[in-house]
Chain A
Amino acid sequence: EDQVTQSPEALRLQEGESSSLNCSYTVSGLRGLFWYRQDPGKGPEFLFTLYSAGEEKEKERLKATLTKKESFLHITAPKPEDSATYLCAVPVPSNTGKLIFGQGTTLQVKP
C-alpha cells in the first residue's frame, strides 16, 4: 500500500538547537517528494521538491535530503519563526496528479 509516514509527530526545540524531521514513504516508482510548511489557520506553503536519491535542496535554515526510502528536513539553528507544521507528500504512482500526504510534524521552537 502506498503510504507516507512522518516522525516525530511533534518536536520541541530550543532556539539554536538543530534537528531533523523524517518522512518515510512506500511508493513504487517515486516521481518526486514535496515538503510544505503550514502555519496555523493558513494553507500549506510549498518549500521543496526532490526527485532523486542523493538530491538536496536548501532554503535559509532548512535543508531537505532524499534517499530511496525516506526524506529528511534538517533545521539548522532554528528560530521561533520556524515554528509550524511541516508536511511531506508524494504523487501516487498512477500519475493522476493525486498526492499522498503524511500526517505532519508540528515543530515548536522556544526562545
Chain B
Amino acid sequence: NAGVTQTPKFQVLKTGQSMTLQCAQDMNHEYMSWYRQDPGMGLRLIHYSVGAGITDQGEVPNGYNVSRSTTEDFPLRLLSAAPSQTSVYFCASSYARGYEQYFGPGTRLTVT
C-alpha cells in the first residue's frame, strides 16, 4: 500500500492564481481531511469528508474548496491564492471518523 499520497511536493504561486492540491489514499478509508501547518499555529483543519459525496468545513475553510467524488481522492482547490495561504498542507485519512488518521507527506506552498 502506498498509503496517503500528495502531489505536488512543492509549489510556488503568484497572488490570484488558482491551483489544486491532489490527495489520494489506497486504504479504502471513509474519512479524509485537509490540514495546514504553520509555525506556532499547529495543525489546523481546513475541510473534511466522512465519505464520497460528503464534505464539510473545518476551522479555516475560507479560500479553499473541496469535493469527494470517489473514496480514494480528495483534492483541495485554492480559488485565488493569497500570501496568507503560504503554508504546508497535509492530507490525512482514517478508516472512519474517530479512528487514528494517517497523513500524507505534505505539499509546501508559497504564494508570492
Interfacial residues, chain A to chain B (CB-CB below 8 A):
31-32, 34, 36, 41-46, 49, 87, 91, 95-99, 101-104
Contacts and interface: CB of A to CB of B under 8 A. Distances in A.
A99 B90 CA distance: 14
Secondary structure at the A interface, as helix, strand, loop or mixed, is loop
14 contacts: A32-B98, A36-B103, A43-B92, A43-B106, A44-B90, A45-B103, A87-B43, A96-B50, A97-B48, A97-B50, A97-B94, A97-B98, A98-B33, A104-B42
B42 A102 contact: yes
Contacts of B100: 32, 34, 46, 49
A44 B98 contact: no
A95 B92 CA distance: 17
B43 A97 contact: no
Interface in B1-51: 4, 31, 33, 42-43, 45, 48, 50
Interface in B93-112: 94, 96-106
A73 to B, nearest CB: 15
Secondary structure at the B interface, as helix, strand, loop or mixed, is strand
Nearest to B44: A101
A77 B100 CA distance: 27
A43 B97 contact: no
Contacts of B58: 98
Contacts of B96: 97
Contacts of B101: 34, 46, 99
Given A31-B98, A32-B98, A104-B42, A96 B48 contact: yes
A95 B98 contact: yes
B98 A91 contact: yes
B105 A43 contact: yes
A23 B94 CA distance: 22
A43 B31 contact: no
Contacts of B48: 96-98
B96 to A, nearest CB: 8
A43 B104 contact: yes
